Chain A
Amino acid sequence: SQELEQSPQSLIVQEGKNLTINCTSSKTLYGLYWYKQKYGEGLIFLMMLQKGGEEKSHEKITAKLDEKKQQSSLHITASQPSHAGIYLCGASGPGNQFYFGTGTSLTVIP
C-alpha cells in the first residue's frame, strides 16, 4: 500500500515567519492533494498537483511536486495565526483507495 510520510510532525512558529512542510511518498505520485484540518473540524481542500515539477500558489501558500513525483512540499510565507491547523497530504492509491499522510500540526504564535 502507499505510504505518505510528513515532516515535521509538528511545528511552532512566530507570526510572520516562513515555514515548509514536506510529504514523501513510498511510491510514485499520480496526484497529490493538500488539505488543512482545523482542530475538531473537517478538511479544507487547499490544492492539487499532478505533474512533476508543478507548482501552485494560493494566497500565501505554495505547493510543489518534485520532478521524480515522490515528494511534495507546502510552503507558507509570512505565517499568520489563521494558518494554524493540521496539514495533510493525500494521494490516490493504485486501486480506489485514497491515502493520507501522517499530518503536520502547525501552531502560529501571535
Chain B
Amino acid sequence: NAGVMQNPRHLVRRRGQEARLRCSPMKGHSHVYWYRQLPEEGLKFMVYLQKENIIDESGMPKERFSAEFPKEGPSILRIQQVVRGDSAAYFCASSPTGRETQYFGPGTRLLVL
C-alpha cells in the first residue's frame, strides 16, 4: 500500500506565476488535509477536503489560494500569482475518515524567486 504521494517534490516559480501542488492520498483514504510550513515556523493547517467537497478552509489565505479534491485524481492545491512569502514546504495528509490518524506525504518545497 503506497503512502501519500506528493508532486512535485520541489517547485521553483517566479513571482506572478501559478503553482500547482498535487497530492495522492493513500489507497482507501477519502480525506485530505493541506498544511504549510514556513521557514522557521511550525506546521499550519490550511484546508480539509473530502472527495468533491471542501469541509474546512479556514486556514487558507482568502486570496490566490484554492484547493480541490475531485472525484477522480489527486487533490490539488493551487496558488495563483505567487509571491516570495509563499515560499514554504506544503504537506498533505490523508486519513480514511475524518478524525483519524493522518498520514503525511513527503511535502512539496516551493521556492518563489
Query: Which A residues are closer than 8 A to B by beta carbons?
Result: 31, 33, 35, 40-45, 48, 88, 90, 92, 95-103
Contacts and interface: CB of A to CB of B under 8 A. Distances in A.
B42 A96 contact: no
Interface in B78-101: 91, 93, 98-99, 101
7 contacts: A42-B91, A88-B43, A90-B43, A97-B58, A98-B48, A99-B45, A103-B42
A48 B102 CA distance: 10
Q: Say whether chain A's binding surface is mostly helix, strand, loop, or mixed.
A: strand
A31 B99 contact: yes
- Nearest 4 CB-CB pairings of A with B: A96-B56, A43-B104, A42-B106, A100-B43
B106 A97 contact: no
Given A48-B101, A97-B56, A98-B102, A41 B42 contact: no
A95 B99 contact: no
B67 to A, nearest CB: 13
A48 B101 CA distance: 8
B14 to A, nearest CB: 23
B43 A96 contact: no
B59 interface: yes
Contacts of B25: none
A41 B107 contact: yes
A92 B106 contact: no
Interface string B37-65: 00000111100100000011011000000
B102 A96 contact: no
Given A95-B58, A97-B59, A100-B44, 4 more contacts: A43-B93, A44-B104, A48-B101, A98-B102
